[in-house]
Amino acid sequence: MSNPDVVVRAEALVNLTERLTELLAHQAKAFESRRPHEAADTIEESAKLANIYRHESVRLKRDPSVLNGAPPPLRARLLRATEAFDSVLARHGRALEAAKSITEGLVQAIAAEVAAQRGSVGGYGSSGERNAPADAGIAIALNRRA
């Protein structure tokens, strides 16, 4: 016989896992299609759910018996939801890494172009010293990581 508290907890875990999987799949699709702005509307919710998922995963690892008494079909549903989540999480990670590489490349290209345009020095003055270009007082910093 199944324990009602265990059933409620297992169903909550399934729902949490499925919703988080749905959000991450949406974000991965947005990153893969080079429209990261479409992922922005789900970032806050996915961060909250990921934090809850992390806490629940740690709790379940510490004490797997919390799901003892859950009906086998519900346990199977949780297993399938977790496998789908793991798959989408890997896809999401690859999409984020690709977006990060593209962003870093763009930042570096822009910085190189700015540096090249600033690279021309002024001519020589009447004293024989180099004249600084008009924008010599403006600095540019580039961190190689976005």
User: Rounded distance, CA 53 to CA 135, Å?
Assistant: 52
pTM: 0.71
- Tens of pLDDT, residues 102-120: 878 888 888 888 877 776 5
- Write the CA distances from 114 to 48, 107, 122, 136, integer angstroms: 39, 11, 16, 12
Q: What is the mean pLDDT of residues 64-87?
A: 93
Mean model confidence pLDDT for the chain: 84
Evaluate whether 104 touches 146 at the Cβ level (below 8 Å): yes
- Tens of pLDDT, residues 135-145: 554 555 656 55
Which residues have a Cβ under 8 Å from the Cβ of 42 and sit 6 or more positions away? Answer: 23, 26, 27
- Write the CA distances from 35 to 28, 32, 141, integer angstroms: 10, 8, 27
